[in-house]
Amino acid sequence: ASTVLAAPAIAQGAPKVTWRLTSSFPKSLDTIYGGAEDLAKHVSEATDGNFQIQVFAAGEIVPGLQAADAVSAGTVEMCHTCSYYYVGKDPTFAIGTAIPFGLNARLTNSWFYDGNGNTLLNEFYATHGMVGFIAGNTGVQMGGWFRKEINTVDDFKGVKMRIAGLAGRVVEKLGVVPQQIPGGDIYPALEKGTIDAAEWVGPYDDQKLGFNKVAPYYYYPAFWEGGPVIHAFANKEKFEGLPASYQAALRDACAFANSSMMAKYDRKNPVAIRELVAAGTQLRPYSQEILEACFNAAMELYAEISASNPTFKKIYDDQVAFKRDAYLWMQLSEYTYDTFMMMQQRAGKL
């Protein structure tokens, strides 16, 4: 009889597991921070409460921009962060989130889920001891808050701007002085004039941080963030030690969180943009001249990085091949449908 009790195979199949997840975001940014809460809740529900992921805000365990380092080191099992925050270690990290003039959110999903994106990037993340899942997206972000108008490429010269990822290196080629500043510190820097401009996410989050109070001009689009991904990274060894069913539950919870965050932004941003404009914010599109100059600068930068970084080159080249085809196809039904719908919206007919 003791052998029967000594081999509770079913109980072994459902061990209690508790993980800690460090977010790169503060709780006040409920949508982007909430992505981690969503995925933790869904994992718990799918595992009957046996796999618990405790979510910690930026700074509670480690600073927001060191979340992935803590996962690599095994200090925490998991994080919710942007891959491009780690671009200082290797520019390849940027491709995981968004690179200037990259894919929009929908094509980002396609490249990750059905193209080679997930496979190629996880080969790279494995070298940092991590497994990555796309677990959130903001859509094309807004192009930042400026204290003065930017009408020509020359107007960029000497502008001190908070800007993330590889985008800083792109606009640097046009004379911008890029600054790396965590989200919570941007407002005082912009208010005091330590910086002249700042980009963060889009209307909903930017309104929460109050940038409209210290900079009147709100530019679009963020040509450096067509469909920025928020990644869930798990420590590779810890992930591989999970029961297969917990791995599967985590993977699908990330898929849910990925769609859910985009869904929230698409509902919340229209409300916020109306309020911002009603309160005096001046919307400005980047000129064609500026977009083209930045596009050329980005292509130059990719050639430079590719020349010395074969991992970057391999993943970048794959994404470019995907992008060429995808943006051909998008010109037909998707673009003509949306164009017509926007015309009806402007005409007040919707």
User: Interface residues for its own copies in 180-209 (CB under 8 A)?
Assistant: 202-203
Q: Which is nearer to its own copies, 27 or 106 (CB)?
A: 106
Among 3, 6, 280, 350, binds its own copies (CB under 8 A): 350
Q: Which is nearer to its own copies, 26 or 100 (CB)?
A: 100
Question: Pattern of binders to its own copies over 133-172, x per CB under 8 A?
Answer: ------xxxxx-----------------------------
Least distance to its own copies from the beta carbon of 143, Å? 7
Q: Which is nearer to its own copies, 128 or 231 (CB)?
A: 231
Please state, in angstroms and rounded to a whole number, the distance separating the CA atoms of residues 325 and 330.
9
Please state, in angstroms and rounded to a whole number, the distance separating the CA atoms of residues 128 and 132.
11
76: left (phi over 0), alpha (psi -120 to 50) or beta: beta
Tell which positions 251-280 bind its own copies, by CB under 8 A.
251-253, 255-256, 258-260, 262-264, 266-267, 269-271, 273-274
Please state, in angstroms and rounded to a whole number, the distance separating the CA atoms of residues 48 and 50.
5
Please state, in angstroms and rounded to a whole number, the distance separating the CA atoms of residues 305 and 31.
33
Tell which positions 9-48 bind its own copies, by CB under 8 A.
10-11, 13-14, 42, 45-48
Of 138, 262, 257, 148, the residue nearest 202 (C-alpha): 138
Least distance to its own copies from the beta carbon of 75, Å? 28
Least distance to its own copies from the beta carbon of 40, Å? 13
Among 54, 75, 110, 282, binds its own copies (CB under 8 A): 110
Please state, in angstroms and rounded to a whole number, the distance separating the CA atoms of residues 159 and 172.
10
Q: Beginning with the edge strand found earlier in the chain, give each strand of the sheet holding 17-23 in spatial order.
A: 51-56, 17-23, 78-81, 229-235, 130-137
When asked if residue 127 is in the footprint of its own copies (CB under 8 A), the reply is no
Tell which positions 323-342 bind its own copies, by CB under 8 A.
323-342
Interface region with its own copies, contact rule CB under 8 A, candidates 80-88, 109-117, 191-199, 305-313? 109-117
Phi, psi of 286 (to 5 degrees): -65, 140
SS3 state of residue 83:
helix
Q: Which is nearer to its own copies, 113 or 279 (CB)?
A: 113
Least distance to its own copies from the beta carbon of 72, Å? 27
Please state, in angstroms and rounded to a whole number, the distance separating the CA atoms of residues 120 and 322.
13
Least distance to its own copies from the beta carbon of 131, Å? 16
**How many beta carbons lie within 10 A of that of residue 159, not counting itself?**
21
At residue 58's C-alpha, the angle toward residues 57 and 64, to 5°, is 150
